[in-house]
Amino acid sequence: MLSLSDSASGIVVGLFETPNGLLRSFRSGIMLAMSRPKKPRKPYRAGRTIARVAMRTRPWQLNAAFAPLESLLDRIERDGTLELSEAGVPVYTASGDGKAYSLVAVIQGMAEMFDIARLRDPTCPRTELLHRLAELLEQDGLLTPADIAGCHQCLAALRAYAASLPHQEMSDIVRTAQIKFRLDALLELSDEEGG
């Protein structure tokens, strides 16, 4: 009968007797030690996605939204003229598609979009000056230099606010405004059919 010390010495002797026994146990110990990480794993942090990137990193989108109105105000300030449709309505001709859009609707759309943003965030600049400009253009009112300068300041403040928003938040505001405009158009259509 073997005692515990005999069996333990037998294992040790067996390791030394086989040429690969000691080498195999030595390698497995090194492999275990090498496979363990030296530092603890860092927690996973999601990378920057487009949704969280501020609009200031996308100046071409800000220019596409604000440059037409800014150039229109510059033209009014410089020449005192507006482009009119055949019906005598002030229009804006888009450089991208060449279509003429109602200038009053463009200005009101921009103002209403930031009114929606103001409902969500009270730090959004006020848009009363843009509403006043649209009203004056619709009623063929007289634009004063103070009105134009105020609209320039309003657009600059709105551009700075839009630049500070994350892309996802700004696109959500635009989608909400589009839904509002379509619902308003449907309400007008149903009023015309019902009345």
- pLDDT in single tens digits along all 195 residues of the chain: 444 455 444 544 444 455 555 555 555 555 555 556 667 777 777 666 666 778 888 888 899 889 989 988 998 889 888 888 888 888 888 777 888 888 899 999 999 999 999 999 999 999 999 999 999 988 888 888 999 999 999 999 999 999 999 988 999 999 999 999 999 999 998 888 876
Q: How many domains does the chain have?
A: 2
Domain presence at residue 30: yes
**Would the pTM count as exceeding 0.75?**
no
Q: Domain span at residue 23?
A: 9-42
Query: CA 79, 82, 86, 89 torsion: positive or negative?
Result: negative
96 in the same domain as 177: yes
CB 130 within 8 Å of CB 111: yes
**For 105-149, how does the pLDDT look when each residue is reduced to its tens digit (9 = 90+)?**
999 999 999 999 999 999 999 999 999 999 998 888 888 899 999
161/60 Cα distance (integer angstroms): 16
168 in the same domain as 74: yes
87/104 Cα distance (integer angstroms): 14
